[in-house]
């Protein structure tokens, strides 16, 4: 019944936008508990608008949405886990632009709003840029995990700048301990955790427009700016004193096992950089906020690049235009549309107007504060690159680099795959 309460508020905000009820179909990647949650959000929209809303989820979303679009049977709204596919579909004329004024609303109401507008803006079939995507439900990757008890016992303070983070790492080494646990292993996807490191370092050493040029290959992978970001990662991962087990085990350590060193007795490491999902691989019974906590992977104080945040998220786009589809995107502006999922857990949002007391727990609320504090948000770069690069040569290159290959050499390999993909 909770969604009925929300719906009554949203009804006022929508001002009875739907003149006539329609069936609105939504297709996305969520199954299981996430499907149940998004259906609660859509039920609130249905109650607010009068539309008949139906959601279908699939673990083959990326393939099926293209098949449906080409067959002329696309849903009204599709939920994309990655902007790249939405951009491709916009260029083929399969997406409808969002209503006029949506971009201005995002700029005013989302933290780092211009970033979100840019992430949802693509060239249409005529090559003209339009806003096609609305981001709803995001993830944060720029996090460092640690054990508060270990920090307290050792007398360490949370670093607030990259300079302080490196100084803390050196202090831990001087104390005879190991600062970091790092693992790149992930079966057939081995290497992807290193791409996140490099992307975070790009955002901490270069302006966001340079990051964008790198991701699109307007700036080649062999550029000195890219090599610098790779070597910033190497300053951590290729330093035997910095990494539990030594640099030689980084590539072979499974990313799911790597944070366990935080909880060993005595600790095998003091910090682990990983996204918001990593507590799923902590030892059973670990309580986030007590046994484990996190802080923002900090920016350089001396570079004046603000507080960039790397992450991912889902964007909603209209694949079969209708009044009901436009109404649904408008509904997603409402704080209540976010708060329903916030209360159920597993949800972060850049919406500045939500009631933070509605987050399911304090750690999630704290994580969302990091998102709201972003001056720049950028999507996971490897997810925006061609598959042969972002989920291929980039991964492999980072494994080779972690094993001792020169940055220039592995970057040349990645650039060669970019050239072949064009």
Backbone angles phi, psi at 368, to 5 degrees: -65, -30
Q: 113: Cβ–Cβ under 8 A, 6 or more apart, which residues?
A: 106, 107, 350
Instruction: Return the CATH fold of 2-140+311-379.
Output: D-Maltodextrin-Binding Protein; domain 2 (3.40.190)
pLDDT in tens, the chain (422 residues): 233 334 444 443 444 444 589 999 999 999 999 999 999 999 999 999 999 999 999 999 999 999 999 999 999 999 999 899 999 999 999 999 999 999 999 999 999 999 999 999 999 999 999 999 999 999 999 999 999 999 999 999 999 999 999 999 999 999 999 999 999 999 999 999 999 999 999 999 999 999 999 999 999 999 999 999 999 999 999 999 999 999 999 999 999 999 999 999 999 999 999 999 999 999 999 999 999 999 999 999 999 999 999 999 999 999 999 999 999 999 999 999 999 999 999 999 999 999 999 999 999 999 999 999 999 999 999 999 999 999 999 999 999 999 999 999 999 999 999 999 98
CB contact at 8 A, 339 and 354: yes
pLDDT at residue number 19 = 56
Domain ranges in the chain with CATH number 3.40.190.10: 2-140+311-379, 143-308+381-421
By the 8 A CB rule, do 298 and 162 touch?
A: yes
Calpha distance 116→377 (Å, rounded): 7
- Coil/strand/helix, residue 121: strand
Q: What is the structure's pLDDT at 185?
A: 97
- Helices 335-344 and 2-14: crossing angle in degrees, nearest 10, is 160
Per DSSP, the residues of 348-412 read B--BTTS-GGGSSSHHHHHHHHHHHT-SEEEE-HHHHS-HHIIIIIHHHHHHHHHTT--HHHHHH
* Sign of the Cα pseudo-torsion (159, 160, 163, 166, in order): positive
Nearest to 270, CA basis, from 403, 151, 124: 151
CATH class as words, domain 143-308+381-421: alpha beta
Q: Is the omega angle on the peptide bond into residue 266 within 30 degrees of 0, that is, cis?
A: yes
- What confidence score (pLDDT) does residue 20 get? 82
CA distance 390 to 408: 18
Could you tell me the sign of the dihedral formed by the alpha carbons of 307, 308, 312, 318, in that order? positive
Instruction: Please give the C-alpha separations between residue 288 and each of 89, 281, 419, in angstroms, as whole numbers.
Output: 39, 12, 44
């Amino acid at each position: 019944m909770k969604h009925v309460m929300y719906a009554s508020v949203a009804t006022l905000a929508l001002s009875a936008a739907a003149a006539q009820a329609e069936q609105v179909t939504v297709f996305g990647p969520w199954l299981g508990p996430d499907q149940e949650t998004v259906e609660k959000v859509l039920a609130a929209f249905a109650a607010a608008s009068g539309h008949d809303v139906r959601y279908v989820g699939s673990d083959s979303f990326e393939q099926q949405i293209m098949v449906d679009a080409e067959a002329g049977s696309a849903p009204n709204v599709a939920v994309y886990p990655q902007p790249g596919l939405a951009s491709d579909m916009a260029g083929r004329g399969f997406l409808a632009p969002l209503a006029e004024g949506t971009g201005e609303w995002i700029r005013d109401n989302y933290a780092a709003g211009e970033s979100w507008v840019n992430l949802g803006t693509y060239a249409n079939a005529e090559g003209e840029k339009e806003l096609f995507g609305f981001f709803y439900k995001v993830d944060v990757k720029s996090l460092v995990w640690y054990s508060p008890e270990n920090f307290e016992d050792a007398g360490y303070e949370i670093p607030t700048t990259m300079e302080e983070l490196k100084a803390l790492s050196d202090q831990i080494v001087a104390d005879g301990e190991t600062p970091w646990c790092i693992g790149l292993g992930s079966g057939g996807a081995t290497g992807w955790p290193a791409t996140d490191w490099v992307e975070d370092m790009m955002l901490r050493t270069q302006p966001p427009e340079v990051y964008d040029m790198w991701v699109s290959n307007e700036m080649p992978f062999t550029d000195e700016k890219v090599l610098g970001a790779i070597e910033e990662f190497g300053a951590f991962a290729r330093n035997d004193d910095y990494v539990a087990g030594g640099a030689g085990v980084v590539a072979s350590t499974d990313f799911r096992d790597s944070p366990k060193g935080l909880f060993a007795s005595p600790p095998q490491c003091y910090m682990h950089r990983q996204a918001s999902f990593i507590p799923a691989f902590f030892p059973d019974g670990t309580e986030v906020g007590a046994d484990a906590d996190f802080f923002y992977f900090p920016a350089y104080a001396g570079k004046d690049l603000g507080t960039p945040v790397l992450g991912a998220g889902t964007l909603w786009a209209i694949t079969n235009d209708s009044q009901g589809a436009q109404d649904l995107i408008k509904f997603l502006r409402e704080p209540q549309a976010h708060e329903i999922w916030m209360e159920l857990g597993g949800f972060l949002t850049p919406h500045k107007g939500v009631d933070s007391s509605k987050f399911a727990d304090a750690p999630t609320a704290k994580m969302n504060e990091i998102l709201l504090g972003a001056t720049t948000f950028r999507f996971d770069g490897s997810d925006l690159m061609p598959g042969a690069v972002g989920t291929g040569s980039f991964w492999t290159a980072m494994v080779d680099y972690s094993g001792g290959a020169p940055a220039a050499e592995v970057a040349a390999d990645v650039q060669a795959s970019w050239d072949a993909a064009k």
